[in-house]
């Protein structure tokens, strides 16, 4: 790795103090006030100096004896400054090991090291030390290499210096003059010696750097005679068109092959990056390589051009013989050579050669002349994403509608509209640049020696004797510009424009020719001269806001509303004149065609089906007055669709078109606009005492409670049915609809589940999830969403109900069943508004999992109000939780005591161990008040089972609710017995005879106590101290089983 040597001489380094006194680096404390003013003058003039001499100079010198600085520019003009005498000379040296030293008058005063840059990837270029990267920081005096500190600092603050930079041969290559924060740099022409060239590749072939060379491979055509010169045009009433000029000017046939080799630019890295290179010193060396032999390349690449280097990158233009570039097992390789001129006669010129690269051919073949605007309709391109191509024959152009229009008093430049489609194919393999029907913008073709050519095809239309093409300027078309003209009575084109050219259809021939004038491509454009080009659009006809409803909206436009704009846009004076020229554009059924803006917003296109909104029809007043009107009708679904649009507003376009033909008088487009408003209400009015908050606080909460029937003589609770209407004032909810919405009124909403609007209850999609005895129960419904009349399906939120038109006869609003893990546990009758809690094992288990005062089992109820066309009105506060209350609770008294070692065992009455109360908080027995003891019978209490095996204890450190008694001892035995002490597994009760309020006596209670039986305690082991028992007991009644526990104390063994 070769290291370069550089010497940078720094002249006249001076230090400036804040007091304005300058001290030289030679003697820091010498006073040199005499030169202070001159140095300041130089600092102020640095920018002037740069302006005077430019960026390139012939020399920069400083004479220590006289203190004079002299700069000589490229024109031999000199500028001098006297800045001081006997100033020290500082120099910077860099040796081959990267050590950098600062010398003052030849003696080293400080030193450091430089890390040289890594070698380039191409081995033919050696490492290089770039002198242009060695700088001095004017603010700090630090010497930098490539922006990094070298460890060397020139003494002082505020250094004035002149740096001359030398290459390895000691030749000065430039100068930098610095003072404080100002600096100017000059470079000497032709002294930065080129050391290397590295090809900058964008293509690799099998890992080898390659240069892709696209050459033109094409066929050219010749004009031939033909007798086929007449064709009918495209109009409904066809007109015969006859070409009147020599067919050889427009009937091109044949295909002769040819090639064109363009200039292709490739990039090379210069080393050093600031080296100066001349095109005259560049050439390519090339050869064709095979496996075992080589020879000079027949592709003959040569330097054709060179652009100025930019940041060390040199673009070189070359030309090769594309068809002779080797492929398929052979290859043409090339390298760039540069001659480096000797600095003196004593030295010889040297040659710098870049790395070799493979020359890789791409064949470029023109396909068609085309348009650059997808709106223009002509011949389809095989690549559907491309705009259309020009018609390739005169016949095709004549028999189709005009592709372009031009106003009679304007011009149109075809060059702004044209492109060329071409194919590009790598030889032999494809590259990223390959493609079919790729596009050259206008002007790109010049690289390949191609150019456009424009002329008119003369033809007559019908009985006319004057060619339509005479109505355009034959001179301006040569530059691709269509200029309508008028014609005199002799058929001569005048240099004037006028309305008489309207309706004429000049036919343009567009050719692309090669460097020898041969026709490569040809296309034809039929152009219509019109009164006005482009779309004529009136101002928006705003039909205000329509309130959404079941009836069709009918927005009416009277002639008096639209006449001013239509007459103005058509440039006519009266309705009669307008009617003579224009008609409303409708389909076969008389419905207006609708249009939409094109993707680029520059024109109109037929509206897609999804863009058609409503129906617009023209109606003429039968009395013959001028009150012709347009009716824009909108269905309910279309109204909803408009509401879903931005701003709840829609704009459509209809148009009037020319009666004469579709293009000579431009269509007049009319934007019609309408907005849609939707109603929103809220559910009122609650009977506040029927509503609860989560904290079990009454008065206008958010929840309601559902319960079994209240007690009645000989009644029961089997019919768990609740009327949802009872929580609202006057027995039904109301919905506060806004005014002026005919389909949403209090009268309509007063009908429960009405066929022509009303209200109804349903189970909302969002329901509860419960876990009971370790099993997770997910409450669910049949439908989570409601369909919208315009499509899609949405959750029944207030926002969705106003954003969309949700149908209430399908989806979530028809949810009348509530499921728990797939089992129906509740239903709603939408005709009556009543909810029924189902009687099955799942429903009972969930019902009895929580006491009525801590209920967690609820259904989320929804209410909807809807129109006669079954569309929901948006409501707030339209869902709430309805809690299912357990009919009865049984809570252990925690007061029972067993006595250990009692004769025949210790017993406790089961009934007396529990306090019973119902969902109304009514106790069955309250102390000595037995008046409600008959409720045991009303609620259908029919079984008692003591879960002996699940009893837990505190015995020997046990924990209630966790430590099973059986895990501690087998000696202590609990038994469920009947009233006579006989062991039973459960007690079956029949209390129906007590199911009247009159049976609420102590005798009834005593009978119930006896029927429930006892719990017996026996200890067959040693004496025991006092401990606790928790005994589970299950009570079965009409609505399932209440699982509860009672805590009992076992007193220590008698006498101990």
Question: Each residue of 898-915: pLDDT tens digit?
Answer: 988 787 889 999 999 999
The answer to which of 194-198, 421-425, 813-817 has the lowest mean pLDDT is 194-198
Q: In terms of domains, do 425 and 516 share one?
A: yes
Rounded CA-CA distance 437/389 in Å is 10
pLDDT at 194: 81
Q: In terms of domains, do 834 and 946 share one?
A: no
User: Bridge-partner residues for 44, per DSSP?
Assistant: none
Length of the chain: 1056
Rounded CA-CA distance 831/809 in Å is 13
Q: Is residue 926 part of a domain?
A: yes
Q: In terms of domains, do 644 and 511 share one?
A: no
Q: Is residue 230 part of a domain?
A: no
pLDDT at 943: 98
The answer to which of 107-116, 346-355, 980-989 has the lowest mean pLDDT is 107-116
CATH number at residue 379: 2.70.50
* Tens digits of residue pLDDT in 226-238: 999 999 998 878 8
DSSP sequence for 45-79: THHHHHHHH-SBEEEEEEETTTTEEEEEETTS-EE
* Tens digits of residue pLDDT in 808-841: 999 999 999 999 999 999 999 999 999 999 999 9
The answer to which of 145-154, 287-296, 414-423, 542-551 has the lowest mean pLDDT is 287-296
3-state secondary structure 526-585: EEEEECCCCCEECCCEEEEEEECCCCCEEEEEEHHHHHHHHHHHHCCCCHHHHHHHEEEC
pLDDT at 625: 41
Rounded CA-CA distance 383/422 in Å is 11
Q: In terms of domains, do 351 and 210 share one?
A: yes
pLDDT at 753: 97
pLDDT at 99: 67
* Tens digits of residue pLDDT in 849-870: 999 989 999 999 999 999 999 9
> 205 or 556: which carries more pLDDT confidence?
556
Rounded CA-CA distance 321/200 in Å is 22
pLDDT at 86: 52
Q: Is 80 exceeded by the pLDDT of residue 143?
A: no
Q: Is 405 left (phi over 0), alpha (psi -120 to 50) or beta?
A: beta
> 8 or 550: which carries more pLDDT confidence?
550
Q: Which of 192, 212, 245 is the last residue of a domain?
A: 192
pLDDT at 42: 45
Strands lying side by side in the sheet with 240-243: 230-232, 240-243, 459-461
Q: In terms of domains, do 730 and 656 share one?
A: no
* Tens digits of residue pLDDT in 599-626: 888 889 999 999 999 999 998 764 444 4
Q: In terms of domains, do 979 and 904 share one?
A: yes
Taking residues 100-129, what's their average pLDDT? 54
Q: Is residue 853 part of a domain?
A: yes
Enter the DSSP assignment of 714: T
Q: Which of 514, 530, 546 is the last residue of a domain?
A: 530
Taking residues 950-963, what's their average pLDDT? 95
Taking residues 517-546, what's their average pLDDT? 91
Q: How many CB atoms lie within 10 A of CB 416?
A: 11
Q: Is residue 250 part of a domain?
A: no
pLDDT at 102: 67
Q: Is 70 exceeded by the pLDDT of residue 346?
A: no
Residue 733: domain span: 681-886
The answer to which of 435-439, 491-495, 575-579 has the lowest mean pLDDT is 575-579
Q: Is 50 exceeded by the pLDDT of residue 19?
A: no
Dihedral angle at the C-alpha atoms of 714, 719, 724, 728, nearest 10 degrees? 0
Q: Is 333 helix (H, G, I), strand (E, B) or coil?
A: strand
How many Cα atoms are found within 13 Å in the side-chain-facing hemisphere of 480?
A: 15
Q: Is 60 exceeded by the pLDDT of residue 125?
A: no
Q: Is 60 exceeded by the pLDDT of residue 1?
A: no
Q: Is 86 left (phi over 0), alpha (psi -120 to 50) or beta?
A: left
Q: Among 20, 14, 8, 9, which Cα is nearest to 158's?
A: 14
pLDDT at 4: 28
Taking residues 174-194, what's their average pLDDT? 58
Q: Is residue 315 part of a domain?
A: yes
Q: Is 772 helix (H, G, I), strand (E, B) or coil?
A: strand
Q: In terms of domains, do 213 and 105 share one?
A: no
Taking residues 1030-1048, what's their average pLDDT? 97
pLDDT at 253: 92
Residue holding tokens 């419905």?
A: 591
Q: In terms of domains, do 206 and 338 share one?
A: yes
Q: How confident is the model at residue 98 (pLDDT cuts 50, 70, 90)?
A: low
Q: How confident is the model at residue 700 (pLDDT cuts 50, 70, 90)?
A: low
User: Bridge-partner residues for 110, per DSSP?
Assistant: 102
Q: Are 267 and 314 in contact (CB under 8 A)?
A: yes
Q: Is 90 exceeded by the pLDDT of residue 163?
A: no
Q: Is 90 exceeded by the pLDDT of residue 761?
A: yes
Taking residues 197-218, what's their average pLDDT? 85
- Record the tokens describing residue 215, joined without a space: 């050459």
pLDDT at 297: 64
Q: Are 557 and 629 in contact (CB under 8 A)?
A: yes
- Record the tokens describing residue 1013, joined without a space: 């039986």
What distances in angstroms separate CA 1002 from CA 535, 573, 934, 994, 1032, one per listed residue?
99, 108, 10, 12, 26
Give the burial class of 515: count Cβ atoms within 10 A of its Cβ; 0-12 exposed, 13-18 middle, 19 or more buried.
exposed
Q: Among 398, 717, 666, 360, which Cα is nearest to 527's?
A: 398
Taking residues 56-81, what's their average pLDDT? 62
Number of domains in the chain: 6
Rounded CA-CA distance 422/441 in Å is 11
Q: Which residues, at least 6 apart from 645, have a Cβ–Cβ distance to it below 8 Å?
A: none
Q: Is residue 240 part of a domain?
A: no
Q: Is residue 708 part of a domain?
A: yes
Phi, psi of 814 (to 5 degrees): -105, 10
Q: Is 249 helix (H, G, I), strand (E, B) or coil?
A: helix
Q: In terms of domains, do 357 and 331 share one?
A: yes
> 540 or 209: which carries more pLDDT confidence?
540
> 81 or 842: which carries more pLDDT confidence?
842
Enter the DSSP assignment of 871: B
Q: Is 50 exceeded by the pLDDT of residue 757?
A: yes
Q: Are 560 and 627 in contact (CB under 8 A)?
A: yes
pLDDT at 534: 73
How many Cα atoms are found within 13 Å in the side-chain-facing hemisphere of 650?
A: 25
Q: Is 50 exceeded by the pLDDT of residue 936?
A: yes
pTM of the entire predicted model: 0.57
pLDDT at 278: 81
Q: In terms of domains, do 755 and 832 share one?
A: yes
The answer to which of 20-29, 184-193, 453-462 has the lowest mean pLDDT is 20-29
- Record the tokens describing residue 357, joined without a space: 């690269």
First to last CA, the chain: 107
User: Bridge-partner residues for 793, per DSSP?
Assistant: 787
- The CA-CA-CA angle for residues 989, 995, 997, to 5°, reads 140
Q: Is the dihedral of CA 847, 852, 854, 856 positive or negative?
A: positive
Q: Is 80 exceeded by the pLDDT of residue 294?
A: no
Rounded CA-CA distance 412/404 in Å is 9
Q: Is 50 exceeded by the pLDDT of residue 13?
A: no
Q: In terms of domains, do 72 and 211 share one?
A: no
Q: Is residue 1 part of a domain?
A: no
Mean pLDDT of the chain: 83
Q: Which residues, at least 6 apart from 770, have a Cβ–Cβ distance to it below 8 Å?
A: 776, 777, 779, 820, 846, 849, 856, 857
Rounded CA-CA distance 144/166 in Å is 16
Q: Which percentage of the chain shows pLDDT scores above 90?
A: 56
> 535 or 199: which carries more pLDDT confidence?
199
Q: Among 587, 564, 584, 554, which Cα is nearest to 654's?
A: 584
Q: In terms of domains, do 565 and 523 share one?
A: no
Helices (H), 571-643: 575-581, 636-643
- Record the tokens describing residue 746, joined without a space: 């209090």
Taking residues 656-666, what's their average pLDDT? 75
Rounded CA-CA distance 52/59 in Å is 14
pLDDT at 884: 96
Q: Which of 304, 330, 361 is the last residue of a domain?
A: 361
Q: Give helix 33-44 / helix 46-53 axis angle, nearest 10°.
A: 50
Q: Is 90 exceeded by the pLDDT of residue 439?
A: yes
């Amino acid at each position: 790795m070769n290291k370069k040597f550089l010497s940078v001489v720094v002249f006249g380094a001076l230090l400036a103090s804040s007091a304005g006194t300058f001290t030289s680096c030679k003697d820091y404390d010498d006073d040199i006030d005499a030169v202070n003013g001159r140095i300041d003058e130089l600092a102020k003039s640095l920018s002037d100096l740069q302006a005077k001499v430019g960026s390139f100079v012939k020399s920069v010198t400083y004479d220590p004896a006289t203190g004079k600085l002299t700069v000589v520019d490229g024109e031999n003009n000199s500028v001098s400054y006297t800045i001081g005498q006997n100033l020290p000379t500082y120099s910077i040296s860099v040796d081959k090991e990267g050590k950098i030293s600062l010398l003052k008058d030849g003696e080293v005063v400080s030193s450091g090291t430089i890390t040289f840059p890594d070698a380039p990837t191409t081995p033919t270029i050696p490492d290089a030390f770039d002198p242009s990267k060695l700088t001095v920081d004017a603010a700090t005096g630090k010497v930098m290499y490539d922006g990094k500190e070298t460890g060397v600092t020139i003494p002082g603050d505020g250094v004035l210096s002149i740096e001359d930079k030398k290459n390895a041969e000691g030749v000065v290559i430039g100068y930098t003059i610095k003072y404080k924060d100002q600096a100017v740099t000059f470079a000497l022409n032709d002294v930065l010696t080129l050391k290397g060239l590295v090809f900058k590749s964008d293509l690799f072939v099998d890992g080898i750097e390659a240069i892709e060379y696209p050459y033109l491979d094409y066929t050219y055509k010749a004009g031939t005679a033909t007798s086929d010169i007449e064709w009918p045009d495209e109009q409904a009433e066809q007109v015969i068109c006859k070409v009147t000029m020599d067919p050889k000017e427009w009937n091109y046939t044949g295909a002769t092959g040819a090639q064109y080799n363009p200039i292709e630019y490739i990039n090379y890295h210069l080393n050093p990056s600031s080296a100066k290179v001349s095109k005259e010193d560049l050439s390519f060396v090339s050869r064709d390589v095979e496996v075992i032999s080589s020879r000079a390349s027949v592709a003959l690449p040569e330097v054709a051009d060179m652009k100025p280097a930019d940041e060390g990158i040199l673009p070189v233009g070359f030309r090769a013989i594309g068809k002779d570039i080797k492929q398929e097992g052979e290859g043409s390789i090339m390298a760039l050579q540069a001659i480096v001129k000797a600095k003196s006669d004593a030295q010889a010129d040297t040659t710098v050669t870049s790395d070799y690269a493979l020359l890789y051919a791409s064949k470029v073949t023109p396909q068609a002349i085309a348009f650059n605007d997808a709106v223009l309709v002509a011949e389809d391109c095989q690549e559907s994403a491309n705009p259309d191509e020009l018609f390739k024959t005169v016949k095709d152009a004549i028999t189709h509608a005009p592709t372009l229009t031009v106003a009679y008093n304007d011009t149109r430049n075809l060059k702004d509209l044209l492109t060329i489609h071409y194919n590009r194919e790598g030889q032999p393999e494809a590259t990223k640049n390959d493609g079919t029907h790729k596009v050259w913008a206008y002007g790109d073709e010049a690289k390949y020696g191609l150019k456009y050519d424009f002329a008119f095809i003369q033809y007559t239309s019908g009985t006319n004797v004057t060619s339509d093409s005479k109505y355009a300027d034959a001179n301006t078309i040569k530059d691709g510009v269509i200029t309508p003209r008028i014609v005199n009575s002799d058929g001569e084109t005048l240099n004037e424009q006028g309305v008489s050219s309207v309706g004429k259809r000049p036919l343009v021939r567009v050719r692309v020719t090669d460097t020898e004038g041969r026709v490569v491509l040809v296309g034809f454009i039929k152009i219509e001269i019109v009164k006005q080009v482009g779309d004529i659009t009136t101002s928006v006809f705003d039909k205000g806001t329509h309130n959404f409803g079941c009836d069709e909206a009918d927005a009416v436009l009277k002639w008096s509303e639209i006449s001013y704009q239509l007459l103005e846009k058509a440039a006519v004076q009266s309705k009669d004149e307008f009617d003579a020229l224009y008609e409303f554009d409708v389909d076969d059924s008389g419905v207006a065609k609708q249009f939409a803006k094109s993707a680029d917003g520059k024109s109109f296109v037929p509206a897609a089906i999804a863009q058609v909104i409503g129906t617009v029809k023209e109606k003429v007043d039968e009395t013959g007055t001028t009150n012709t009107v347009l009716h824009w009708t909108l269905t309910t679904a279309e109204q909803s669709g408009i509401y879903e649009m931005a701003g709840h507003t829609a704009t459509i376009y209809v148009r009037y078109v020319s009666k004469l033909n579709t293009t000579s008088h431009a269509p007049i487009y009319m934007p019609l606009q309408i907005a849609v408003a939707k109603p929103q209400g809220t559910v009122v009015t609650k009977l506040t005492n029927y509503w609860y908050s989560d904290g079990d606080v009454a008065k206008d909460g958010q929840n309601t409670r559902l319960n079994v029937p209240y007690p009645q003589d000989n009644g029961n609770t089997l019919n768990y049915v609740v009327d949802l209407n009872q929580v609202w004032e006057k027995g039904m909810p109301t919905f506060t609809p806004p005014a002026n919405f005919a389909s949403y009124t209090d009268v309509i909403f007063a009908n429960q589940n009405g066929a022509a609007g009303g209200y109804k209850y349903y189970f909302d999609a969002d329901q509860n999830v419960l876990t009971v005895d370790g099993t997770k129960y997910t409450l669910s419904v049949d439908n989570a969403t409601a369909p919208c009349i315009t499509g899609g399906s949405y959750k029944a939120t207030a926002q969705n109900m106003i954003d969309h038109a949700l149908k209430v006869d399908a989806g979530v609003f028809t949810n009348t069943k509530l499921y728990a893990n797939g089992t129906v546990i509740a239903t709603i009758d939408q005709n009556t508004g009543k909810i029924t809690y189902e009687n099955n094992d799942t429903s009972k288990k969930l019902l009895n999992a929580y006491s009525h005062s801590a209920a967690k089992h609820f259904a989320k109820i929804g209410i909807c109000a809807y129109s006669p066309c079954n569309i929901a009105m948006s409501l707030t506060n339209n869902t709430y939780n309805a809690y299912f209350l357990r009919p009865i609770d049984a809570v252990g008294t925690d007061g029972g005591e067993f006595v250990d070692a009692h004769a025949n065992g210790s017993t406790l009455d089961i009934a007396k161990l529990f306090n019973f109360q119902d969902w109304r908080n009514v106790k069955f027995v309250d102390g000595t008040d037995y008046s409600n003891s008959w409720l045991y019978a009303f609620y259908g209490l029919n079984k008692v089972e003591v879960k002996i095996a699940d009893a837990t204890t505190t015995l020997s450190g046990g924990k209630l609710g966790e430590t099973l008694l059986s895990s501690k001892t087998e000696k202590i035995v609990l038994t469920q017995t009947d009233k006579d002490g006989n062991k039973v597994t459960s007690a079956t009760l029949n209390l129906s005879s007590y199911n009247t309020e009159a049976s609420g006596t102590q005798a009834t209670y005593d009978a119930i106590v006896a029927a429930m039986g006892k719990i017996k305690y026996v200890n067959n082991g040693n004496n025991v101290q006092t401990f606790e028992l928790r005994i589970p007991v299950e009570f079965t009644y009409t609505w399932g089983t209440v699982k509860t526990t009672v805590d009992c104390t076992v007193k220590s063994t008698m006498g101990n």
